[in-house]
Chains A and B, each alone.
Chain A
Amino acid sequence: MSERDLDARLRALFAEADTGPGFEAQVMARIAARHTAPDAKMLFLAERHREATRQRLRREAWMNVGTAAGIGTALIALVWREGPAVARWVEQGLAAASDVGSLGTFAFVSLGIGTWVALQRLMPR
């Protein structure tokens, strides 16, 4: 066998290597599948995000209720057990608060905080 024969055999050997029928149609089908896939995926991800947010808010709401109930229970228990002492603290607190200087400071600080919060909300981010 000559080199020419070797060439011929190699050509014949590789001649059968080709894509199957319908190659272009299969490419177009893959493209069509990919084209719709992102939409479906985005919907799935958005729904999953919404569900996660719903669960987080529900969890936080229960935690808030639990915290409020705990603080309330603790206050009631405190008043129940230490009634006279609590009454004395409240009286002292009210007396201190009714002082003109304290009231003025409280009003000034409240106004400052209120203004800061209002500015935070009104200023563009």
Chain B
Amino acid sequence: MPADEAIIQLVQAGRAQEAFERLVPAYRRRVFGLAFSILRDRAAAEDLAQEVFVKLWQALPRYDGRAQLSTWIYAITRNAAVSALRSRRRTVSLSDAEVQAEVEGIAREPAGSPGDAALRRRIEALPEKQRQAVTLYYLDERPVDEVAAMMGIPVNTAKTHLHRARASLAAALGAAGEVTE
């Protein structure tokens, strides 16, 4: 990716601040998308994306170019998101489950048609990796190989997750009378 090359050259020239100023707009959507695909909460994903960029700002001067820039950034994002998800699950398990579910339901109530709400529920019900693949693929219409890189899995595995997810969604919505092929 040309933007990555420019960023790496700036880092190697000791101009980390300039490199970071280019990195944030280049990776904002991708870091947010990856966080969103794991956390499934827009506000939490945005908060986490900001934290990831703070980490990147601290680590960028030490980036040695051994891994691809995108791979490095995705790994940092995935680790941070998985840690956040674990700590969130611990917090939720300590609180009253029903109240928590109601609060989350209100917070996540999306604007849109009832059909959108049904589709969201179907996506939520997908296995984790399938849901993540669908989110990353449709969030910015990314190619499957980039979805695979973001998830840290082989391309064929990502294709399989995506195919199964779409088939499940089509079947579920078809059963509910929403898909007519």
Contact = CB atoms under 8 A, between A and B. Distances in A.
Interface in A73-87: none
B42 A17 contact: yes
Interface string A24-46: 10110011001000000000000
B96 to A, nearest CB: 28
A3 B50 contact: no
B50 A6 contact: no
A14 interface: yes
Dominant secondary structure at the B interface = helix
Interface residues of A, number: 23
B32 A13 contact: no
Dominant secondary structure at the A interface = helix
Interface in B35-58: 36, 42, 46, 49-51, 53-54, 57-58
Interface string A5-31: 111011101101111100110110011
A21 to B, nearest CB: 11
B119 interface: yes
Interface in B74-116: 110-112, 115-116
Interface stretch (B7-15, B23-31, B145-153): B23-31
Contacts of A14: 135, 138-139
Contact of B141 (A3, A11, A13, A20): A11
Interface in A29-66: 30-31, 34
Contacts of A24: 24-25, 28
B125 interface: no
A1 interface: yes
B46 A20 contact: yes
Interface of A: 1-3, 5-7, 9-11, 13-14, 16-20, 23-24, 26-27, 30-31, 34
Given A1-B179, A19-B28, A27-B50, 9 more contacts: A3-B166, A6-B170, A10-B119, A13-B116, A13-B123, A13-B138, A27-B54, A27-B57, A30-B50
21 contacts: A1-B181, A6-B166, A6-B169, A6-B170, A6-B173, A6-B179, A9-B116, A10-B134, A11-B138, A13-B120, A13-B123, A16-B111, A19-B29, A19-B32, A20-B46, A23-B28, A24-B24, A27-B54, A30-B54, A34-B54, A34-B58
